[in-house]
Amino acid sequence: MVARRTDTDGRRAAVVAGVGSCLPARTVPNEELAARLDTSDAWIRSRTGIARRHVAAPGTATSDLAVGAGARALKSSGEPAVDAVLVATTTPDRPCPATAPLVAARLGMTGAAAHDVSAVCTGFVYALASAAGLILADVAERVLVIGAETFSTLLDPGDRSTSVIFGDGAGAVVLRSGTAGEPGALGPFDLGSDGESEALITVPAGGSRQRLSGVPPRPGEEFFTMSGKEVFRHAVRRMTGSAKAVLARAGWTAEDVDHMVGHQANSRITQHVAEGIGLPPQRCFSNIAEVGNTAAASIPLALDQAHAKGVLRPGQRVLLTAFGGGLTWGSTVLTWPRLDPS
Ligand code: UT7
């Protein structure tokens, strides 16, 4: 689905006004996984680009990371509060209620609208589109959009194919009402899904399907499972298609893109997507070596780190593209604004 472009220059738009992130202190290098699983540092680096990932300490929850990232994004925006808080996550603190109201309360914003967005690794792009919708519909002037995960809580410690990829973390942006055409204005968006392929990425147990089946969960069914090879192919195809669609809608060519900040699924996936779009590898920001695949947190975490390192500079044109379980995918573009550090 390509969103209809109604926001020509001068019209209302959602504008990025702040960015921040939060990583748990503990890092797990590949060697630590290789000590307990049938894998190696060389395999993980060559097949995924990952050297280490951050893992939340016992006693931590997704909301803790979300609050850390959200507070930094608010500080960077210069605004103490917003009208709505959206948290994109696959790993909410509890199945019920959503994590966002607690995050809003802990950030001193009891009373703000707050809800979670569930689209696995595409969650942040879906949340950006939802937040932009709230702003364009005049429901909110400012929205805090957070991607936060403690993905380690979903992993089967004995499954080498997933344990080596995923990490924990959070990233956030503040969106404010502004005008299309100004630096930071988001859009257009491209969003899509393919529920026929839902089984490729799933947590089999714990939902209504399993509970109402009358069959108790088999051991391990509470963990995240992924058909890696097939997902790889879908990820390349869908992110490439979505990125191309959004560029066409924006009237940009690959030459116009200074940086692609894609979902950090696997460095080989990013390289294939870049090739498919016609972007040289040096224009693809990558932080996967240090943080792994942090699912819904991956894009805002990458944006904050790229901004902090001076890689993203004001006036540069940025393409965001993501793919995840569902299956889901989504892309958007913006010109990077001048922001305070978080
Ligand atoms: O975040 C959005 C959703 N997720 C993704 O986009 C991730 C998509 N998938 C991937 O990133 C990759 O498919 C993986 C990293 C999961 C796997 O890499 P691959 O290159 O596709 O490996 P493979 O599954 O084709 O396996 C190749 C070999 C197999 O051995 P045989 O059958 O050739 O003997 C696997 O058993 O590598 C083996 N293998 C491993 N070996 C060492 C699989 N995982 C590991 C491992 N260490 N961790």
245 and 157 part of one domain: no
265 in the same domain as 208: yes
Residue 39 is given by DSSP the state -
Q: Domain end: 179, 211, 233, which one?
A: 179
Confidence bin at 1 (pLDDT 50/70/90): low
**Model confidence at 227: pLDDT above 90:** yes
Residues 71 and 108 in one domain: yes
Tell me: do 69 and 90 sit in the same domain: yes
- Kindly indicate the confidence band of residue 9, based on its pLDDT and cuts at 50, 70 and 90: low
CA distances to 44, 202, 216 from 24, in Å: 21, 25, 34
Q: What is the pLDDT of residues 245-276, one digit of tens each?
A: 999 999 999 999 999 999 999 999 999 999 99
- The domain boundary, picked from 137, 163, 179, lies at 179
Judgement on whether residues 73 and 133 belong to the same structural domain of the protein: yes
SS3 308: helix
User: Quick check: 2 pLDDT over 60?
Assistant: no
235 and 268 share one domain: yes
- Enumerate the active-site residues: 121, 263, 293
Query: For the whole model, what pTM was predicted?
Result: 0.96
Cα-based distances in Å from 61 to 92, 122, 164: 8, 21, 21
- For 306, phi and psi rounded to 5 degrees? -65, -35
Final residue of a structural domain among 179, 209, 240: 179
Within-domain flag for 1: no
Q: Give percent of the chain with pLDDT exceeding 90.
A: 96
Query: Is there a single domain that holds both residue 195 and residue 151?
Result: no
Q: In what order do the strands lie in the sheet with 84-88?
A: 12-22, 168-179, 142-150, 84-88, 113-117
Q: Is residue 340 part of a domain?
A: no
28 and 52 together in one domain? yes
pLDDT for the residue 49: 98
Q: What's the chain's length in residues? A: 342
Asked if 287 contacts 305 with a C-beta cutoff of 8 angstroms, the reply is yes
Provide the β-strand partners of residue 335. 317
Q: Which residues pair with 323 in a beta bridge?
A: 329
Residues 6+ apart with CB under 8 A from 289: 45, 49, 50, 51, 52, 267
Q: Whose CA is nearest to atom 41 of ligand 1?
A: 39
Has residue 80 been placed in a domain? yes
d(CA 64, CA 169): 10
Say if residue 155 is in the same domain as residue 255: no
> Distance, CA 176 to ligand 1 centroid (Å)?
41
Q: What mean pLDDT do residues 8-24 have?
A: 91
**Domain presence at residue 6:** no
90 and 218 in a single domain? The answer is no
Say whether both 272 and 311 belong to one domain.
yes
Point out the ligand 1 atom lying closest to the alpha carbon of residue 33.
48
Would residue 168 count as lying in a domain? Answer: yes
Banded pLDDT at 8 (limits 50, 70, 90) = low
**151 lies in the same domain as 105:** yes
Tell me the best of 168, 232, 288 to mutate to test the pocket of ligand 1, counting ligand atoms within 8 Å of each CB and taking the most. Answer: 232
Phi-psi bin for 251: left (phi > 0), alpha (psi -120 to 50), beta?
left
Measure 229 CA to ligand 1 centroid, in angstroms. 6
71 in any annotated domain = yes
Residue 5 lies in a domain: no
CA distance 43 to 46: 5
Q: CATH number for the domain including 197?
A: 3.40.47.10
Question: Of 4, 335, 342, which Cα lies nearest the Cα of 179?
Answer: 335
- pLDDT of 205 higher than 60: yes
pLDDT for the residue 340: 81
Asked, for residue 202, whether it belongs to a domain, the answer is yes
Distance 170 CA to ligand 1 centre (A): 25
For the stretch 21-68, pLDDT in tens is 999 999 999 999 999 999 999 999 999 999 999 999 999 999 999 999
3-state secondary structure of 257: coil
Mean pLDDT of 202-214: 94
Domain that holds residue 295: 186-335
| pLDDT for the residue numbered 7 | 45
CA–CA gap between residue 22 and residue 164 (Å, rounded): 21
Token pair listed for 142? 């400012």
Residue type for 17, please?
A: A
- By most ligand atoms within 8 Å of CB, the mutation choice from 37, 41, 47 for ligand 1 is 47
pLDDT in tens, 160-181: 999 999 999 999 999 999 999 9
Residues in contact with ligand 1 by the CB-under-6-Å rule are 39, 43, 47-48, 121, 160-161, 164-165, 201, 226, 228-229, 231-232, 235, 265-266, 269, 293, 323-324
* Total domains present in the chain: 2
